[in-house]
């Protein structure tokens, strides 16, 4: 079975379960290490997009968060949330089949408000700085 067939079958499975039919596969060294489909309606968890579930499975299988040696295949171009998470994993390439329709806008009502406690900011900045100095 090839990647196209696996992705299609996973998406069809999601659709039958009342989920948006999106599926994802993660590959390392030409071997599938994780596959998933959307499950947020079943789990009632907004994070249960196919891409994120596949990433969690790959993390568990490889015992690491850095997936820079992996490739992702997904049926629909990832949403902004998934895109940011994929970026954090360092996955090097994402192959997708379809773009989202033009009328499909991502909902956002977030307002960022900067806090201005100078004492906290100074202490926290030092904490961050010290942490990264220890890493290097």
Instruction: Quick: pLDDT tens for 92-135.
Output: 899 999 987 766 667 667 677 677 888 888 888 888 888 889 88
Of the candidates 75, 77, 76, 71, the one whose C-alpha atom is nearest the C-alpha of residue 89 is 71
Yes or no: say if 89 and 55 are a contact pair by the CB < 8 Å rule.
yes
In whole numbers, what is the pLDDT of the chain averaged over residues? 91
Q: What are 2's strand-pairing partners?
A: none
Residue at token pair 């067939």: 5
- Tabulate helix, strand, coil % of the chain (nearest 5): 45, 20, 40
**Cβ-Cβ contacts under 8 Å for 48 (sequence gap 6 or more):** 38, 39, 40, 42
Distance CA 25, CA 27 (A): 7
pLDDT band at 91 (very low <50, low <70, confident <90, very high): very high
Q: What is the model's pTM? A: 0.83
Give the residue numbers annotated as catalytic, written as ranges.
Answer: 51
Q: How much of the chain, in percent, has pLDDT values that exceed 90?
A: 70
Cα distances from 49 to residues 67, 116, 123, 135, in angstroms, run 18, 35, 37, 32
């Amino acid at each position: 079975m090839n990647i196209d067939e696996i992705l299609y079958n996973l998406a069809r499975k999601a659709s039958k379960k009342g989920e948006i039919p999106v599926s994802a596969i993660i590959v390392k060294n030409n071997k599938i290490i994780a596959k998933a489909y959307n499950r947020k309606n079943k789990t009632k968890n907004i994070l249960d997009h196919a891409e994120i579930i596949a990433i969690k499975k790959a993390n568990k299988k490889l015992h690491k968060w850095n997936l820079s040696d992996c490739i992702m295949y997904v049926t629909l171009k990832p949403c902004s949330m998934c895109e940011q998470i994929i970026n954090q994993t360092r996955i090097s390439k994402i192959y997708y089949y379809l773009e989202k329709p033009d009328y499909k806008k991502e909902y956002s009502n977030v307002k960022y408000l900067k806090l201005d406690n100078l004492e906290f900011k100074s202490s926290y900045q030092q904490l961050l700085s010290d942490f990264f100095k220890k890493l290097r």
